[in-house]
Amino acid sequence: MKFDKKCVFLFLYCLLIYGAFLGLIPLLDPDEPVYGETAKEMLATVDFLSPRIYGEFWYDKPPLFYWLEALSFSFFGISTWAARLPSVLLGAMTPVYLYLSSRKLIGDKSALRGAFICATSLEIIVLARSSVTDTLLAFTLTVALMSFLRKEYMAAYIFCGLALLTKGPVGFGFPALIVGLWMIATKQFNLKEIMALKWYWGIPLACLVGLPWYIAMGSIHGDAFIDTFLGYHNVTRFVSPEHAGQNHYWLYVVVLLAGFYPWSGTLPGIFRRTKKWMKEKNAAFFLVWALFIFIFFSLSSTQLFSYILPMFPPLSLLSGMYLTDLEEKGHISKALILSHLFFSLLTAGAIALTPISPEGGSWVRWIIVFLMVLAALLAGLSLRKGRFHGFMMTQALLSAVFVLSVWGAFASPVSSLFTSRAIADKLVSTERNLSIPLYIDTFYRPSIAFYTDIYGSALPEFDRRKMETDERNAEKGVLLPGKEEKARLPKDAYILIQKKVYKNWPEEQKSHLSLLWEKDTALLFLKKED
């Protein structure tokens, strides 16, 4: 792969939109500080094999992302932006790699546009600015799958192993199933083509990269690791919802439309070409890849918006191919123009109507909306006149305006609603009787640990809805550690809890509570049974 100026400009643009105001908003609860705190404790204990959180072993995820965060902390110190830096760099590397690996397959113009679309899609931007594993998984799966398509099998299997170290069995399962389904769909599923995948040495190579950590963890921690990591996080969460009442087969339709902004307008054109592209091996590969991820997680009982991120690289390439196809034919689809304007104006309207007020007052909000609408209209005008270069440039402007203004202007109000940094600072300044145990809502606990080194104890679940979910999970036969015992609190305790969770507590649990303070979304109680 040969780098050129396009790669440099693309990488620098990604660093701008992913890295600007990176540390302005503290780590968002509950996921980001989990990774930050775990990496911090890795450095503190000098134990890079067994992840820990609150001083206890933590079997939630494999260690690769923790290692990258620990490396970032060791170079730049422990901070919010250092926790997010690995995602920024991985996010910037993904579209660059996508361009380099696809330009000989689909043409330079389509590849460059696809890479740029990947770089500027909203879901990519959000997760590249977040301290979570999803960007790393998207990168490793992208390299693995593109390497299979390019017949670069050593890289393919190595990155399957790295994906296994990122998020577990999906690192092996997803590439195997996607490649297999593609071969079936394109009538390549025969002994000759299967043997051509070099699996007889590739699978051992992938295992050599990805399995030693699992073997070591199983040997050291035994059933606790196997039941929690493999049982709960990879089986139970697929067949049983972790968040009751929040899972729907159509959920990812909404996530895709929002997450692919400002390119959502290309989706109707992409899917109109499905029949045609299934006759082309490369296009069929991207379609199978994207559709598999989408359908798999639509069928999953536990659904988070970040799960479908690995479908965005192939979808972006299809979008780039679609735009190039329109340009070469000289026919500008009215549906594309109208779809583009619809989704752009919908996003601007969402910012205009959001109940969160930006720093600086309502006039800041309307400036942001005006700039977004202006960029959207200019992009639509460029499309109408067949100026695809102008369309891409105005889309770049739209993405930059969106990121720089939203992350800058809404930093303070977002911090008060979605992070517990200020709550942690309030807790530090509160005089407490240290002989009385402190119980912290599990939503707040990672962030408070990361920013203050106060661990406390996990507040037992008395939320009626969550207790019902735990009962359903118990029926599946796999329990998280500690779920076997009935939740209870001592007679005397400090209780830090979310306001919305407290509302769902049974009345018997609210007795003997004295409110000490409230801050943003939190309440601190003192429980004393005299």
State mean pLDDT over 125-133: 95
Mean per-residue pLDDT for 61-89? 96
- Lowest-pLDDT range of 34-38, 120-124, 190-194, 385-389: 385-389
Question: Which residue matches tokens 């965060």?
Answer: 69
Looking at residue 308, the DSSP 8-state letter turns out to be: G
Q: Which residues contact 240 (CB under 8 A, 6 or more apart)?
A: 301, 302, 472, 473, 476
Residue 244's pLDDT is 46
The pLDDT value given to residue 464: 64
The answer on pLDDT for 245 being more than 50 is no
Q: Which residue has the higher pLDDT, 235 or 335?
A: 335
pLDDT reading at 388 higher than 90: no
Residue 526: pLDDT over 60: yes
Rounded distance, CA 144 to CA 64, Å?
16
Of 135, 10, 144, nearest to 85 by C-alpha is 135
Percentage helix, strand, coil, to 5, in the chain?
Answer: 70, 5, 25
Q: Quick check: 385 pLDDT over 90? A: no
pLDDT value of residue 236: 47
User: In 3D, which of 519, 356, 506 has the Cα closest to residue 444?
Assistant: 519
- pLDDT at position 482, please? 47
474-496 as b/e: b if 16+ CB within 10 A: eeeebbbeeeeeeeebeeebbbb
Whether the predicted pLDDT of 130 surpasses 80? yes
> Average pLDDT, stretch 167-185?
94
Determine contact, residues 39/69, Cβ cutoff 8 Å.
yes
Tell me: the pLDDT tens digits for 140-157?
999 999 999 999 999 999
pLDDT for residue 480 is more than 60: no
Hey, how many other C-beta atoms are within 10 angstroms of the C-beta on 221? Answer: 15
C-alpha of 265 from chain center = 23
pLDDT for 238 equals 46
Predicted local distance difference test score (pLDDT) of residue 355 = 78
Tell me what percent of the residues of the chain surpass a pLDDT of 90: 56
Mean pLDDT of the chain: 87
Entry field: residues in the chain: 530
Q: pLDDT tens for residues 277-331?
A: 999 999 999 999 999 999 999 887 777 888 999 999 999 999 999 999 988 887 7
Residue 20 has pLDDT above 50, yes or no: yes
pLDDT reading at 31 higher than 60: yes
The mean pLDDT value for 502-516 works out to 88
DSSP character at residue 77? -
Predicted confidence (pLDDT) per residue in 416-472, tens digit: 888 889 999 999 999 999 999 999 999 999 999 999 999 999 998 887 666 666 666
In the 8-state DSSP scheme, what is residue 27?
P
Query: 34-37, long-range: CB within 8 Å, 24+ apart, which pairs?
Result: 34/60, 34/446, 35/65, 35/66, 35/69, 35/83, 35/131, 35/132, 35/133, 36/69, 36/78, 36/80, 36/83, 36/131, 36/446, 36/450, 37/446, 37/449, 37/450
Q: Which of 122-131, 226-235, 247-256, 458-467 has the lowest mean pLDDT?
A: 226-235
Q: Using the CB atoms, write b or e for 369-382: b if 16+ within 10 Å.
A: bebbbebbebbbeb
pLDDT of residue 410: 82
Find the angle CA(277)-CA(282)-CA(249) to the nearest 5 degrees: 65
R_g (Cα) of the chain, nearest Å: 24
pLDDT at residue number 314: 97
